Amino acid sequence: MWTKENIPDQTGKIAIVTGANTGIGYQTALALYQAGAHVIIASRSLENASEALNNMEATSGKGSLEKGLLNLASLKDIQKFADNFIKKHKKLDILINNAGVMTPPAAKTNDGFELQFGVNFLGHFALTAHLYSLLKQAPDARVVTLSSGAYKSAQQIDFDNLRSEKSYDAFREYAISKLADMQFTLELQRRVIQNGDRILSLAAHPGVTETSLSRHMPEEDFKAALKQFGELMPAWQGALSPLFAATSPLAKAGGYYGPDEENELRGFPGPAIINEIANDKEAANKLWQFAENATGINFFKTK
């Protein structure tokens, strides 16, 4: 059983956790800080980031903390966050693409993309691209992207509906955003290797964990989900799979990790299932091209 106690000493490492003000992101950032890392609490609210930072500091971890303003629903704000980070730091050891939104009422990012696709995938694609040159400066950098068991409900990405041109189905779009996170993780690993770089790209999911992710779910849907999926894990336990991916020497390039029991719903970190659609290289390549066009970023040519 892999727990927080198995995290190797992180002294000297620099980590960014997106959406670290609450839920799984908070617990992930806290554990990295306690293990000695310098952790950037990236949040779309500096007030919430400050509160999280104070609460983490109160545990007297071995590491250090910093906060950063990051709104993943705006490509301009993502660039600003990355520029500030690059001004201050010379390398990045761990990037945890954790922030997420699930089944909100129909909405779009500042750049006109369906909100879940825009925040959960496209924003993290842009962030990773902007920070790639600093990831290359760390000896064994890792990028961990949070997916979800829900990705398996998505059959394909409808490229003609990523700005909700045709219709909006809250759960379908969530599943698509999480499939995109899987395809991105695997495609990034292939391209890193092609590029001759040493960065690990991994995905993780937290099974069913009690956080504020269900904030947009109607009460009756939440109750029905609880009936279907059973007891929710506490957030510290949900954070273990991303922590395993980010720190364990056992985690492998292009690996996907999640809870190891009850169809990946609960338990402790273990390998999770990567299905054929997630592994589809042609589809991932198409997604990559789309993302580069949509963000105006040439991934491997950013500064």
Task: Give 22 or 161: the residue with its C-beta nearer to ligand NAP.
Answer: 22
Distance CA 268, CA 190 (A): 27
Find all residues with CB under 8 Å of 157, minimum gap 6, and list them: 176, 179, 180, 183, 283, 286, 287
Q: What is residue 69's three-state secondary structure?
A: strand
Does position 24 bind ligand NAP by CB under 6 A? yes
For ligand NAP, the nearest residue by Cβ is 23
Task: Give 36 or 259: the residue with its C-beta nearer to ligand NAP.
Answer: 259
**Distance of closest approach, residue 67 Cβ to ligand NAP, in angstroms:** 12
Q: At what angle do helices 281-295 and 170-194 cross, to 10 degrees?
A: 100
**In degrees rounded to 5, what are phi and psi of residue 259?**
-60, 145
Going from the C-alpha of 165 to that of each of 75, 90, 120, 168, the distances in angstroms are 20, 41, 19, 8
> Rg of the chain's alpha carbons, rounded to an integer?
18
Catalytic residues: 147, 174, 178
Contact between 67 and 101 (Cβ < 8 Å):
no
Site string for ligand NAP, 193-222 (x = CB under 6 A): ------------xx-xx-xxx---------
**Distance of closest approach, residue 143 Cβ to ligand NAP, in angstroms:** 14
Which residues in 4-23 contact ligand NAP (CB under 6 A)? 19, 21-23
Site string for ligand NAP, 69-98 (x = CB under 6 A): -xxxx------------------------x
Task: Give 119 or 291: the residue with its C-beta nearer to ligand NAP.
Answer: 119
Does position 30 bind ligand NAP by CB under 6 A? no
Which chain residues interact with ligand NAP by CB under 6 A? 19, 21-25, 43-45, 48, 70-73, 98-102, 119-120, 146, 148, 205-206, 208-209, 211-213, 238
